[in-house]
Amino acid sequence: MKDVDDKFRKNTDPVPMREELKPRSVTTPDGQTIEIEPLRDYFCDARPKVHPKAYSKIVEDFYNWARSNSLWILGFGTGCGAIEMRPLMTPRFDAYRYGIQWRPTPRQASLLVISGYLSVKTLKRAIRAYEQMPQPKYVMGLGSCTINGGMYWDSYNTIKQLDDYLPVDMYVAGCMPRPEALLHGFMELKKRIRSGKAEGANDYAENFDRYKANQKAVIKDWDMPDYNW
């Protein structure tokens, strides 16, 4: 391959750590010098736990019923599917009647809707948002882009298959799926939750290393702890 200049080869050098995350030493008011290691000092480094179900099946079923009827979606839109979610709040579709509401903060959300293709850059944010949601939590992938890359299957910076990176509970196919399909997806998700099968968070915790490996394989600039509490 004579026509390839070596200088234009793919850069495989590891990305240097962000300046603000590098260990550094600071001087305390008393004049001591202390070491700061931001990743250790600023972030909780515990791994996610696998949370058992409630002791009693009746209670767990009851909880699952509540969970399924109180789906709080994180207001996080990626790709073109984000626009399909808006009609759900309108009189025509009115997802509220199914106990579906939108919350602005991951802490209070239980459903992360990945509404379209995820660029690598957005993936990092999606991972953070997902990990910050309390368990049990659910992930829904919209459109073919999240299933197999869709029309971006050969793109240089989108991920091709969402469940390599996050435990997906429900895919809604289509390009894009219409709001009706979304509603249907929610209904199916509810069924899944009620049946006790929607344990994606536990799956994520169990296979944490695999998920991380996958994530880190595409996210070169990994500037956060392994698990974002």
Give the interface with another protein as residue ranges (CB under 8 A). 20, 24, 26-30, 32, 34, 36, 38, 41-44, 46, 48-49, 51, 54, 62-63, 66-67, 69-70, 72, 75-76, 90-91, 94, 96-97, 99, 101, 104-108, 110, 125-126, 128-129, 132, 134-136, 201, 223-224, 228-229
Contact 142/115 with Cβ under 8 angstroms?
Answer: yes
| DSSP states of 102-170 | EESSGGG--EEEE-S--BHHHHHHHHHHHHHSPSS-EEEEEHHHHHH-GGGTT-SSB-S-GGGTS--SE
With respect to another protein, which residue has the nearer C-beta, 76 or 171?
76
Minimum CB–partner distance for residue 84 and another protein (Å): 18
Q: How far is the CB of 221 from another protein (least distance, A)?
A: 12
* Contact criterion met (CB below 8 Å) for 168 and 115: no
- Locus of tokens 């289509």: 174
3-state SS assignment for residue 71:
strand
Q: How far is the CB of 161 from another protein (least distance, A)?
A: 21
In the complex with another protein, the residue whose CB is nearer, 41 or 209, is: 41
Q: Nearest distance from residue 185's CB to another protein, in Å?
A: 19
Query: Closer to another protein at the Cβ: 18 or 210?
Result: 18
Tokens representing 187?
A: 């209904």
